[in-house]
Amino acid sequence: MHSNMEWQAMDMRQIGIITKRSDPRALEATRQLAEWLVERGRAVTVVSEIATAASIPLRCAARQSQERLPEGQDLVVVVGGDGTFIAAARAVEEVDVPLLGVNMGRLGFLTDTARDGMFDAMEQVLAGEYRIEERMRLSVEVVRQGKLPLACRVLNDVVVHKGELARMMEFDVSMDDQFVFSSRADGLIVSTPTGSTAYALSAGGPIIHPALNAILLVPICPHTLTNRPIVVPGTGTARITLAANGLDRLLTLDGQAGFPLSDGDEIRVRRSTHPLRVLHAPDRNHYTILREKLRWGE
């Protein structure tokens, strides 16, 4: 992980903004942030459609597609919710650019800077006063008859689940060359520590600190109630092999993209060599976010 000293020596001159398009408040916040940054001598780039929808003056921001926006940026600010943040994480997959999340509604686990604290947080960032952390991504491959019809990365989770039919699906799970279990269930969640507060949490999984090198396996509504969530080392490769029973099954990636599965498919999931870097204000930490989001102590 990069130290704060390294980052304080880096002057953040180029700042991109990725925004939740359907939220008028996010559009207004983006316009205000772009103008605020330009007043402080920063070069701003905004997604083209957002610049139009938010009526951002040309003098305040360059225009770019969301896929190309991270190129050449020192920082990308995400204005929206956790879903927008995950989409932004996908946009920076091939570019080593850190993200800062500004939440427009309920506190997010990823977008942990409140809207009314946006300018204070940006003042700290421009002054070099922030923490940076690396979040594990997972590398996902589908192996089908010796070929790879899918290879991608996820930040939160990859979910193997049944399709339209009510019947449970069957699958085997192994770690490297070690068999773990067979299961009949509605599916299986393979999650990063970041994703442990997402779908995996609602399915009964534990909360894992994002600094841990671990992968979480959570069966969804297993037929055998003794099939429990299990945390395995992040150094291994999880292999999920589907039974040949002709069921309709699907792979869902970070809850935002789907891929149809076939009999005998093997899904391989391992820690990616490309982590995501996330910036936080000095007063924000994982336990603060958990207390506020989950309302501990109320």
CB 241 within 8 A of CB 172: yes
Catalytic residue among 74, 82, 120, 265: 82
Q: Is 82 a catalytic residue?
A: yes
Annotated catalytic residues are 82
